[in-house]
Homo-oligomer: A and B are copies of this chain.
Amino acid sequence: MKTDYFSSRTTVRKFSDKEISEDVLNNIIKKALKAPTTGGMQLYSIIVTQHPDKKKTLAEAHFNQPAATGCNLMLTICADFNRFSQWCSASHASPCYDNFLSFTSAILDATILAQQIVTIAEMEGIGTCYLGTVTYNAAKISQILNLPDLVVPVACLAMGYPDGKAEETERLPLEAVVYHEEYPRFTDEKILELYKAKDNFPPNKKFILENKKQTLAQVFTDIRYPKDMNEAVSDQLLMLLKTKGFLK
Contact = CB atoms under 8 A, between A and B. Distances in A.
Interface of A: 2-3, 6-11, 26, 28-36, 38-42, 44-51, 54, 78, 83-84, 86-97, 99-102, 104-105, 107-108, 111-112, 114-116, 118-120, 123-124, 130, 132, 135, 145-148, 151, 154-155, 169-172, 174, 176-183, 185-186, 188, 191-192, 194-195, 199, 214-218, 220-222, 224-227, 230-231, 233-234, 237-238
A156 to B, nearest CB: 11
Nearest to A236: B101
Nearest to A231: B99
8 contacts: A47-B182, A83-B186, A87-B192, A88-B220, A90-B192, A93-B221, A107-B111, A108-B155
Given A176-B83, A186-B83, A215-B91, A120 B26 contact: no
A87 B219 CA distance: 13
A47 B225 CA distance: 27
Contact of A171 (B34, B51, B100, B112): B34
A185 B54 CA distance: 19
Nearest to A116: B115
A3 to B, nearest CB: 5
A102 to B, nearest CB: 6
Given A29-B174, A35-B115, A222-B93, A230 B104 contact: no
